Amino acid sequence: MSEPLLSVRDLKTQFFTEDGTVRAVDGISFDVHEGEIVGLVGESGAGKSVATSSILRLVDSPGEIVGGEIEFKGETIFGVEEGDDGELRPRDEMLTEEEMRKRIRGREIAIIFQDPMESLNPVFTVGGQLREFIEINRDLGAAEAKEEAIDMLREVGIPAPESRYDEYPHQFSGGMRQRVLIAMALACQPDLIIADEPTTALDVTVEGEILEMVTDLQEKYDTSFIWVTHDMSVVAEICDRVNVMYLGEIIEQAEVDDLFYDTKHPYTSALLDSMPRPDRTVDELRPIQGVMPEAIDPPAGCRFHSRCPEAREVCREVHPEPRELSEEGGAPHTAACVKHDAFDVGYDESPPIDTRATGGFSAGFTETGGEAE
C-alpha cells in the first residue's frame, strides 16, 4: 500500500487534573490512506474526541500531548525527541503553531462537529460565515468567494442557495445546518476531514441523507475521512476500515467486514451483541456488565477484563498490545486480546474470572458506584 496520508504512532494525550493524571489517549496508532473513510468507534469516555483534537493539536490545558508521532503528508504535526537533559522536547521539523493555524487547520484538515448550532455563529448569516471562511483560506476576493460559497451550498443539497445564503442559522433545520458545516469543511478541498459524531443529533431519515451525500462527495473530491461515532450501524454503512477504542486504547483494528464477521476482541463482540436490532426482534439483550472505568485509574492488565465475559486470571496481569492476527495474505486485522494464540501468555491454562456470577446488573453497578466517589 502507498504511503499513508496521516499516520499516528503511539499517541498519548493526558490531562493533568487535581485528582490525578487522566490518560485519555494512551498509545494509539493508526493510519489513514488517501480516499478512505476510517472509523473511530467507542463508548463515551473512550477518548475518541481527544484523539481527534490531538491530531489537530487542539488539546487545551490541562490536557497535553505527551508522546507519540503524528505525520501528515510527510510533515510532522507532532513529534518529540529526547533532549540533552533527558527531557522530551519538540523536534525541529514539527510544525509551528502559526503553520498549523494558517496551513493545516481548515485548509488541509477540516473538522465537522456534532452540534451544528454551536459551530455556527447565530448572529451572522450562514452565507456570510461560509464566504468569510473561503475568503480567508483560499485568498479569494469577496465576490468570488460568495459565488464559491453559493456553489458549495448547492453542492451539499441546500435548495435555492441564493436566497438561503442570506438566512441565519436558526432558520435552518438541524440537517440543513449540518450540511452547511459539511460545505464549510469541503470548501477548501482539504485532504482529510475529521467528522466528530456529525449525525448523532439527527433523525435517522436525515442521517441517511447526509451519509449518502458524504459518500457521493467523498467519491467526487477523493477526500479521506476520520469518522468518529459510537454507532455501529453508521460504521457498517460508511467506513472502509475501523478502529475500536476502549478506555484510551485501540483494541481492535480491521476492515469493516472483518470487524463484523470475524470479530477478534471480546469488547467488539459484546458491543455488537448489546445493540437492539431493527431488522429482527431480539428477545433478550445481552448488555456489557458494568460501566467503563475511569481513565484516571485504569484497571491493570487488560483494561476490559473487569467487564469481559471471557476474562481469565492472566488478563489481570498481562497488558496486551495490539497484534497482527490476520491470516497470511488477508487484510490487516489487529486486536489486543490475549485469548489469541499469537500472544502465548498461557490464556488457556489460566482459570476464568467469573464476572457474571457476581449477580447480574447490580454487581457491575455497585462496583463502579464505589469507584465514582
Partner 1 sequence: MTEVGPPESDPEALLQVRDLCKYFDNESGLLAGVQLDDEFPYVSRSTSDVRAVDGVNFDIKQGETLGLVGESGCGKSTLARTVLRLLEPTSGSVYFQGEDLASLSGEPLRRMRKDMQMIFQDPQSSLDPRMKVGPIVEEPMKAHGMLDEEGREARAKELLEKVGLDPQHYNRYPHAFSGGQRQRVNLARALSVNPDFIVCDEPVSALDVSIQAQVLNTMEELQEEFDLTYLFIAHDLSVIRHISDRVAVMYLGNIVELADKEELFENPKHPYTRALLDAIPVPDPRSGGRTALLSGDVPSPIDPPSGCRFRTRCPEVIQPDEYDMTEDAWRNVVEFQRAVERRAFEETDPDILRSRYFEDAVPSGDAGTLLDEALGHIERDEFEDAEQILVERFADQSVCATTTPAYEVPSDLTDGRHYSACHLRRDEALASAVDEPAVDDAARPGAGATEADD
Residues that bind partner 1 (CB under 8 A): 43-44, 159-160, 163, 173-176, 203-209, 211-212, 230-237, 256-257, 259-261, 270-272, 274-279, 281-282, 284-288, 291, 360-362, 364-366, 368-369, 372-373
**Shortest spacing between CB 215 and partner 1, in angstroms:** 9
**Shortest spacing between CB 78 and partner 1, in angstroms:** 29
**Cα 74 from Cα 94, distance rounded (Å):** 11
**Shortest spacing between CB 56 and partner 1, in angstroms:** 25
Please name the residue that has the C-alpha cell 480516499. 35
Of the two residues 108 and 258, which places its CB atom closer to partner 1 in the complex?
A: 258
Dihedral angle at the C-alpha atoms of 207, 227, 182, 95, nearest 10 degrees? 170
**Cα 161 from Cα 130, distance rounded (Å):** 12
Of the two residues 91 and 277, which places its CB atom closer to partner 1 in the complex?
A: 277
Instruction: Give the contacts of 203 (CB within 8 A, at least 6 positions apart).
Output: 175
Give, in order, the Cα–Cα distances in Å from 163 to each of 127, 134, 153, 215: 10, 19, 11, 27
Of the two residues 324 and 371, which places its CB atom closer to partner 1 in the complex?
A: 371
Of the two residues 272 and 345, which places its CB atom closer to partner 1 in the complex?
A: 272
The candidate with the shortest Cα–Cα distance to 195, out of 50, 60, 75, 49, is 49
Of the two residues 65 and 232, which places its CB atom closer to partner 1 in the complex?
A: 232
Please name the residue that has the C-alpha cell 475529521. 194
Of the two residues 283 and 349, which places its CB atom closer to partner 1 in the complex?
A: 283
Give, in order, the Cα–Cα distances in Å from 74 to each of 90, 98, 221: 17, 18, 21
DSSP track, 219-243: HHHT-EEEEEES-HHHHHHH-SEEE
**Shortest spacing between CB 105 and partner 1, in angstroms:** 30
| 139 C-beta neighbours (distance < 10 Å), count | 9
- The enclosing H or E element of 258 equals helix 256-261
Determine contact, residues 106/133, Cβ cutoff 8 Å. Answer: yes
119: its cell numbers: 459551530
**Shortest spacing between CB 282 and partner 1, in angstroms:** 6
**Shortest spacing between CB 156 and partner 1, in angstroms:** 13
**Shortest spacing between CB 309 and partner 1, in angstroms:** 12
**Shortest spacing between CB 257 and partner 1, in angstroms:** 5
Of the two residues 121 and 233, which places its CB atom closer to partner 1 in the complex?
A: 233
Of the two residues 56 and 235, which places its CB atom closer to partner 1 in the complex?
A: 235
Determine contact, residues 305/336, Cβ cutoff 8 Å. Answer: no
Of the two residues 64 and 168, which places its CB atom closer to partner 1 in the complex?
A: 168
**Shortest spacing between CB 21 and partner 1, in angstroms:** 21
DSSP track, 349-371: TSPBP-SSTTTHHHHHHHHHHHH
**Shortest spacing between CB 125 and partner 1, in angstroms:** 18
The candidate with the shortest Cα–Cα distance to 10, out of 322, 356, 282, is 322
Of the two residues 218 and 350, which places its CB atom closer to partner 1 in the complex?
A: 218
Give, in order, the Cα–Cα distances in Å from 36 to each of 31, 75, 181: 10, 19, 20
